[in-house]
Amino acid sequence: MATITVDGERYEVSEGRTVLQALDDLGVLMAGVEIPHYCWHPKLSIDGSCRLCQVEVEGVPKLQIACDTRVRDGMVIDTKSERVRRAREGVMELLLVNHPLDCPICDQAGECKLQDYAFAYGVGHSRSREARRPAKKRVELGPTIVFDQERCILCRRCVRFCREVPGSGELGVFARGDDSMIETFPGAELDNPYSMNVADICPVGALTTRDFRFKIRVWFLEDVPGLCTGCSNGCNVHLGVANNKVYRYVPRRNDAVNETWICDAGRLSYQQIGSADRLTQALVRGELGVLEQTPLPEALDAAAGALRGVVDAHGAEAIGGVASAHASNEDLFVFRRFLQALGARSAAVAVPTGDSDEVLIKAEKAANAEGARALGFMGPTELVEALGSGALRAVVVMGHDLVGSGAVELAALAGLEVIVLLDTHRSELERIAHVVLPTRHAAEKDASYTNHAGRVQRSFAAVEPAFEARPDGELLSGLGVRLGLPGFDGRFDVAAISDALAAEHPTFAGRALASLSEDGAPGPEG
């Protein structure tokens, strides 16, 4: 360890780190110690090109760049001296020489570091009389990113990101000196599974996503901490919310989970929240064999009545439960209790799978497969056997993973007397279900999820559905009380459920919702 002094404050830092890295490790960079920077990024290699991070180091005649100056014991740093301020002003003047200063029509306005630092260190007038250099406008670099080249300050974060994170390297700096420009290599498109991260790390409005560009001014958005539920990595995100609508996901830094990145598929998965195929009303199959819109209490009555009929005729063992790997720990816990209280035969979970990589993307395409397994929901083998032997007469299904994952053919379920489906979106399974109950998306409820490494993380209700969807646990509580199951009184308090889960299951001990930080609680694998 080394002791350094920054603006009169002493800090214990790790030897071998640069000044910016050491302050970032402590969590004080830009959160107490203000050293503006463009080209440095905590998860990319050091470039040292923008020169904005200059600081004064005692005993060193010239200003030093904090991003590439190693700490040493006894180092005394001044980030606020007059020399430093003048250096920042000089850097900003040069960076703005070719910038169009088009903040009123730039989509980055409001979250633009050039705007912020121009405000803090800009000189308020231009000394250049020359025309700004010509540059390309609205270039589609690939399927996801639009490039306004005239705004680029050549920090090269995007170039380093493509080389160092996805390893695709589509971008480079072309020409020299004053003519230098970022471009894609000839014949190449910016098209990799993580391409949209370049818009997050671009400190100006040069790179923007086609998806979010010009949808809403960012100062209208509230950032709500949450999780991407597209795969079992559980990447931390901020949900950009306004008007009870989620406009975007952007990565939220969690070094143990996703560093500062998110894949494009996960980023765009916010579109599922308000998609046209959401289930918006409870449905009950009527006498004519058609699903009919039904008030939720009546649909719950119908589901309970149908399940009661199966219990009376064949016994509770004739009922199976299919959990969803998309469901939260709390909803799964209630489902487990429900099935146990009912005396149901089997409790399975089917997990949809897909591509994976070494960066973030995991093969299990659901947020909580690990949580479901921890709660005793195993693969669907036993359930498939029970279906094949005719031992099952009814199933209660959370979500359409069972069919969507290919674990069970729709035809194998078609002969069941009762299918009660709790789901967020329309699906094939709905075609043969007898009662369909609309549930909430992860962005619409307080809940926790366990990622592939056993880390329990929480998400918050960011929006309220405009229709009558309820958390799965609340619907199951409603079913439980109608069936007269012990331990069910019809109430659903997610905090109390979470406390009970933490008290009952060693895996969740000390990891109730109320005790989870925004970074979550690590599992055995971190």
Positions in the binding site for ligand FES (CB under 6 A): 37-40, 48-53, 65, 67
Minimum CB–partner distance for residue 19 and ligand FES (Å): 9
Of 88 and 400, nearer to ligand FES (C-beta) is 88
Burial letters for 199-213: b for 16+ Cβ neighbours within 10 Å, e otherwise?
Answer: bbbbbbbbbbbebbe
Tell me how many degrees the CA angle 479-322-395 measures, rounded to the nearest 5.
Answer: 60
Minimum CB–partner distance for residue 20 and ligand FES (Å): 7
3-state secondary structure 125-164: CCCCCCCCCCCCCCEECCCCEEECHHHCCCCCHHHHHHHH
Q: Burial of 396 by CB count in 10 Å (0-12 exposed, 13-18 middle, 19+ buried)?
A: buried
Helix and strand counts by DSSP (H, E) for the chain: 14, 22
Of 51 and 326, nearer to ligand FES (C-beta) is 51
Minimum CB–partner distance for residue 163 and ligand FES (Å): 17
For the chain, helix, strand, coil in percent to 5 are 30, 20, 50
Of 97 and 296, nearer to ligand FES (C-beta) is 97
- Residue 184, number of CB atoms within 10 A of its CB: 19
Return the beta strands (E) in 79-229 as ranges: 139-140, 145-147, 171-174, 181-184, 207-209, 222-227
Minimum CB–partner distance for residue 67 and ligand FES (Å): 3
Minimum CB–partner distance for residue 103 and ligand FES (Å): 22
β-pair partners for 500:
none
How many Cα atoms occupy the beta-carbon half-sphere of 202 within 13 Å?
A: 27
Of 23 and 50, nearer to ligand FES (C-beta) is 50
Minimum CB–partner distance for residue 114 and ligand FES (Å): 13
d(CA 446, CA 330): 9
Of 95 and 257, nearer to ligand FES (C-beta) is 95
Of 33 and 383, nearer to ligand FES (C-beta) is 33
Of 50 and 397, nearer to ligand FES (C-beta) is 50
Of residues 296, 295, 239, the one with CA closest to residue 272: 239
Minimum CB–partner distance for residue 4 and ligand FES (Å): 17
Q: Take residue 164 and report the two structure tokens written for it.
A: 């160092």
Minimum CB–partner distance for residue 2 and ligand FES (Å): 20
Of 67 and 475, nearer to ligand FES (C-beta) is 67
Of 145 and 154, nearer to ligand FES (C-beta) is 154
d(CA 136, CA 323): 52
Minimum CB–partner distance for residue 57 and ligand FES (Å): 14
Residue whose pair of structure tokens reads 């490039």 in the numeric block = 147
How many Cα atoms occupy the beta-carbon half-sphere of 112 within 13 Å?
A: 23
Of 6 and 53, nearer to ligand FES (C-beta) is 53
Q: Take residue 327 and report the two structure tokens written for it.
A: 């469901």
Minimum CB–partner distance for residue 202 and ligand FES (Å): 14
Of 69 and 184, nearer to ligand FES (C-beta) is 69
d(CA 441, CA 423): 9
227-to-210, 219, 328 alpha-carbon distances in Å: 22, 22, 12
Return the beta strands (E) in 178-327 as ranges: 181-184, 207-209, 222-227, 236-242, 245-251, 283-285, 291-293, 319-324
Determine contact, residues 209/197, Cβ cutoff 8 Å: no
Minimum CB–partner distance for residue 91 and ligand FES (Å): 9
Backbone φ and ψ for 490, nearest 5 degrees, come out as: 90, -10
Q: Take residue 358 and report the two structure tokens written for it.
A: 């070494």
Of 153 and 306, nearer to ligand FES (C-beta) is 153
Backbone φ and ψ for 459, nearest 5 degrees, come out as: -130, 160
Minimum CB–partner distance for residue 192 and ligand FES (Å): 25
Of 16 and 415, nearer to ligand FES (C-beta) is 16
Minimum CB–partner distance for residue 124 and ligand FES (Å): 23
d(CA 151, CA 137): 9
- Residue 431, number of CB atoms within 10 A of its CB: 11
Minimum CB–partner distance for residue 408 and ligand FES (Å): 54
Of 55 and 500, nearer to ligand FES (C-beta) is 55
